[in-house]
Amino acid sequence: MHDLAAAAPGAEVARHGAHRRAIVLMIVAALLWSIAGVVTRHLTPALQTEGRFEITFWRSVFAALTVAGYFVLVRREGLRPVRATGWPGLVSGAMWAVMFVCFMLALTLTTVANTLLVMSIGPLLTAVLAWIVLRTPVRFRTWLAIVAAMLGMAWMFARGGGALPGGSHVAGMLIALAVPLASAINLVLLQKNRARVDLVPAVFLGGAISAAIMLPLALPLQAAPRDVALLAVLGVFQLGLPCMLMVVAARQLSAPEISLLALLEVVLGPLWAWIGAGEVPATGTIAGGLLVLAALVANEVMALRERGR
């Protein structure tokens, strides 16, 4: 009996330690995700307007190589874990591929702020999908947040502006909408299978699927060596590594915690693009985005308080 009493506090300390490490991993992931816009804006202008598919191809290739290198060189398991993921890994990989493709295409059509603020509604879509799939109740406050976020999104579509040369802010934002949809499906899948399936290999599948789809559309390849180097930075440090960190963090964190920490990308991404590339968000984007972010933060903070109680 004494041994059990002594073991319980130790187990609790270990659990809290694992939770803190997961929070740190998720913060690092969000910080790395946030560099996408500013790095993309330093690509050759012609590549941004005419080489959208090639940008996505190279980024996905380097992301897939990053995850493959982790399994081969660090875990020394080869690609066996990819086969072991089964159907959850295939579905998750397909969702990662949708996110990889649509995110970069949106960035070449509209501003960083527009893209990231559209993506920020992911937590609300996740709540609705969890209600449908996992029978997780949706609180009244979450429905209010969804309505507020939709109003903010409508304002951004109508008044946001921010189209890039050869792009369209409406088309870019519509394409960006696919990212939170796929993210919601992926996050619910991670929460449902985190105890029995390692879904880190799904990030590799996402990169491989995305690259395979983009290659025929990207030919003939025209990126200069400098552009390929920048895309390698994106593929390794902005995509492959942080996505793996998120999957690992999801084993210890709840969906509200993941969603709230991921909002760091939405806040920092436009800031880096402003400081590093001179891309100033449109007034409509700021107004609608503040409404979306306020709804999200209020909902997620209340969710964490309820969970703490």
User: Which pLDDT belongs to residue 61?
Assistant: 96
Would you tell me how many other CB atoms lie within 10 Å of the CB of residue 83? 10
Query: Quick one: 103 exposed, middle or buried, by C-beta within 10 A (0-12, 13-18, 19+)?
Result: buried
Identify the pLDDT of residue 90.
87
| Contact between 263 and 92 (Cβ < 8 Å) | no
pLDDT reported for residue 60: 95
- Give this prediction's pTM: 0.81
Q: Which residues contact 124 (CB under 8 A, 6 or more apart)?
A: 142, 145, 146, 149, 295, 296, 299
Query: What pLDDT, on a 0 to 100 scale, did the predictor assign at position 4?
Result: 47
pLDDT number for residue 195: 52
Q: What is the pLDDT of residue 164?
A: 57
For position 167, what pLDDT does the model report? 59
pLDDT digit string (tens) for the chain, length 309 residues = 455 455 556 666 667 778 788 888 988 998 999 999 999 999 998 888 888 999 999 999 999 999 999 888 888 887 788 887 888 888 889 999 999 999 999 988 888 888 888 888 877 788 788 788 777 777 777 778 777 777 777 776 666 555 555 556 778 888 999 998 998 888 787 777 655 556 778 889 999 999 999 999 999 999 999 999 999 999 999 999 998 898 888 878 776 677 778 878 888 888 888 889 888 777 766 777 777 778 777 776 776 676 666
